[in-house]
Structure 1
Amino acid sequence: MQESPVSGTASTLRRWTAMVGLAATFAITAPAFGAEAGGPYAQAIDTLADQLATRFVDPATGRRYADMLRTNAAAGKYDGIGDARAVAQTLTQDLQAVAPDGHLRVDVAPEGVPVQGPAPRGPRRVVLSPGETAPGGAVRRGSAPGPSLAPLDLPSVAETKWIADGVAYLRFNQFAGEPASVAAIQAFVRDYANADAVIIDTRTLARGGGLAEMDALFPYLFDRETVLVEMAVAKDGPRGGPTAGANTLREVAGPANMSVVQHVAVPAGEHRLAKAKVFYLTSNRTRSAGEHFALALQRTHRGTLIGERTAGANHFGGIEPIGAGLVAFIPVGRTYDPDTGKDWEGAGITPDIEVPADQALDKALALAKQ
């Protein structure tokens, strides 16, 4: 499926939000690879090296990844590995050893799942992608994200309720942008419009995702147009980078080789929640789009972050088929604070109030009642 690159269309937003971090997972049995000289994955490794050298968010690091892969391949490191999953895990470990990245990884392509693209001025991507966290445990900062066994139909909006008198509660599993989750946010801002405080819980995220849920909620939390964060992607790589289009993404001037957009909150007509206190609960499983959400609230002083430092998975991108039954998540851009230019890759985002994750809700409730 291809999307028009024309600026000013909703398709541009879809390309940007897809690149924030793909949210679905899969579980499959890996096909076996032979072990002949060079291996049937030699071309896939070379393709991966090319993609990283030309498209990785940091060009110098991308070239280091590519040099490592080609050196190892030439030395025969991958020749005797006879299983696709083992190849993918070895490549991921080698890449992370060069420079840790919270999204960069190689995995086995899911059988029977179509690949979208090539989309003009945007990355191709597999509809279902490797997971970002294991449901039972956290991803270490700077480590490769492990495979997730979370159900593919896991709803993005996990729970909404009155958790205390005047305090509305909203918990996320992910930010997949499915119509049901956007509808759930629309119902939330309608049903809890008179809340004195809103608690947003991302402590148990199964994975990241995109901007759709945020863009359904932010118009009700802000009473004036507000720049949240900036996002930058290389402008002139293969297939290039997308340009701004929807009313929440505004193209702004940036370096000559970069396409830069601001993510903007555009107020809705309903302003009652704009006066509510906002508390955002974090853990070391809060990652990717969950961290984008956290920075947007923190830097605008619209919400108080409570909990643990987040996972540190910043660089967004898409899933690329590289051949031989393998795919790779190629990070091509970053999200950052427009005031400082800093992002959270590897470091995570430090909450305003640091407490163990299992104490964050109690702390938020105590502050909400003050």
Structure 2
Amino acid sequence: MSTLLGCASAAAAAPAPPSPAGPQMAVPVTPPPRGPDGPITAAERDEAIEAIARELTAKYVFPAKANEVVKSIRARHKRGEYDKLTTGHALATTLTDHVNAVLRDAHFNIRFSKETLPPMQGGDTLSPEEQARFEVFSRRMNGGFEKVERLPGNLGYLEVRGFGFPGRGFEAAAAAMAFLQDTDALIIDIRRNGGGDPSVVAYLCSYLFADRVHLNDLYFRPADETHQFWTSPVPGKAYTGREVYVLTSKQTGSAAEEFAYNLQNLRRATIVGEVTWGGANPGEMVRLGAHFSAFVPTGRAISPITKTNWEGVGVQPDIATPPDDALRVAQVKLLEKQLAKVTEPELKAGLEARLRELQPQ
């Protein structure tokens, strides 16, 4: 959900097609253009419009919505509404707005590149050069695991900035959870996590359950198949019998939202912060010509518990608070629970002192 892109490790299950129409949401805000703008020809404009119509028809997870989009943009094209768009960013932004007036899909967007785009690799295959670059980037990002810390009161803290690095992400998760093993409670911070790969989500979730648990399903329209994600054996000990709090913000997106959604529905974590971004439809990048590309959602998440997902609504926090205050609020809640249980005067005094430090000034 990295947009949730990878699912190579998922096991195929019997197809479970989605409902004909997904959840309704406000029209997503089109992301700002990236990179330099440039002029486009009428032929390049026409090629991009027809390409997005073709790709949506073939791949978008909800076919009825795709057909509605195609009728709309072709009608606009015929009326000449795109004729005055002579730069790449203008066309990409306008098309994204027009498509999402119908789709209302948080992941969908069209991008312009002034430089000629390379041919797309088939499937999930990376070229050797791309794989080498990815490995270097993965290690520089420490697999998406930003910080692990033991806070006062023996609270564990883990900040995960991205779930996009299978391999290195698994190694970092195992190291972090080994460090946190003897803490009394755990805070997992995904406030700045935009998503990644569902296999990394499943791996980290696996540390939080003693038994095998069904976490999430992903249905993909092109292959008409569903991939299931379950917890699985991981190195070290499971982090069980202790509370887990998860911090969220509106920047918490895609696979990171799945992480919070899974744990909330399974009653394994308390979510603290604000409502998340609201994107639950995984997909793939497609090439629309020499200078345009699009992220087309080809699938949707299906919770085995709710039978739906967080698209358009986000994950609702159990404790709503501004994201900048979420860590403090989580610490206070956990320390107050500890304080209610302790009898040792010295430990009680230490917890009381820490709670006073955490009070807003």
Provide TM-score, normalisation by structure 1: 0.74
Task: Give the C-alpha shift of residue 359 in structure 1.
Answer: 2.3
Aligned residue type for 1:232: Y
What secondary structure is seen at the aligned counterpart in 1 of 2:240?
helix
Q: Is the 8 A contact 2:272 2:320 kept in 1?
A: yes
C-alpha distance in structure 2 between counterparts of 1:26 and 1:99, whole Å: 20
Q: Which moved more, 1:264-273 or 1:78-87?
A: 264-273
Check if 1:91 corresponds to 2:95. Answer: yes
C-alpha distance in structure 2 between counterparts of 1:11 and 1:347, whole Å: 23
C-alpha distance in structure 1 between counterparts of 2:239 and 2:331, whole Å: 17
Task: Give the C-alpha shift of residue 196 in structure 1.
Answer: 1.6
**Cα distance change on mapping 1:291 and 1:123 into 2, 3 Å:** farther
Which residue number corresponds to residue 178 of structure 2?
190
Aligned residue type for 1:311: W
**Cα distance change on mapping 1:212 and 1:361 into 2, 3 Å:** same
In structure 1, stretches of 5+ residues that fail to align are 1-9, 17-24, 129-152, 235-239, 242-257
Which residue number corresponds to residue 103 of structure 1?
107
Which residue number corresponds to residue 80 of structure 2?
76
Aligned residue type for 1:262: Q
**Cα distance change on mapping 1:185 and 1:286 into 2, 3 Å:** same
C-alpha distance in structure 1 between counterparts of 2:180 and 2:114, whole Å: 40
Check if 1:54 corresponds to 2:50. Answer: no
Which residue number corresponds to residue 201 of structure 1?
189
Check if 1:329 corresponds to 2:295. Answer: yes
Which residue number corresponds to residue 67 of structure 1?
71
Q: Which moved more, 1:317-326 or 1:153-162?
A: 153-162
C-alpha distance in structure 2 between counterparts of 1:211 and 1:351, whole Å: 21
Match of 2:268 among 295, 302, 306: 302
C-alpha distance in structure 2 between counterparts of 1:291 and 1:198, whole Å: 18
Q: Is the 8 A contact 2:174 2:236 kept in 1?
A: no
Q: Is the 8 A contact 1:228 1:299 kept in 2?
A: no
Aligned residue type for 1:218: C
Superposition pairs for residues 219-368 of structure 1, below 5 Å? 219-234=206-221, 240-241=222-223, 258-268=224-234, 270-368=236-334
Structure of higher CA gyration radius: 2
Residues 110-152 of structure 1, C-alpha deviations (whole Å, 9 max, x = no match): 7476454322xx7999x79xxxxxxxxxxxxxxxxxxxxxxxx
C-alpha distance in structure 2 between counterparts of 1:11 and 1:229, whole Å: 12
C-alpha distance in structure 1 between counterparts of 2:125 and 2:96, whole Å: 20
Task: Give the C-alpha shift of residue 365 in structure 1.
Answer: 0.9
- How many residue pairs get aligned? The number is 302
Which residue number corresponds to residue 168 of structure 1?
156
**Cα distance change on mapping 1:115 and 1:344 into 2, 3 Å:** farther
Residues 250-287 of structure 1, C-alpha deviations (whole Å, 9 max, x = no match): xxxxxxxx311221011336335123311111111111
Check if 1:30 corresponds to 2:37. Answer: yes
In structure 2, stretches of 5+ residues that fail to align are 1-5, 13-31, 132-139, 338-361
Q: What is the root-mean-square deviation of aligned Cα atoms in Å?
A: 3.0
Check if 1:214 corresponds to 2:205. Answer: no
Which residue number corresponds to residue 22 of structure 2?
none
C-alpha distance in structure 2 between counterparts of 1:338 and 1:14, whole Å: 15
Task: Give the C-alpha shift of residue 94 in structure 1.
Answer: 0.9
Structure with bigger helix share is 2
Aligned residue type for 1:289: A
Q: Is the 8 A contact 1:33 1:83 kept in 2?
A: yes
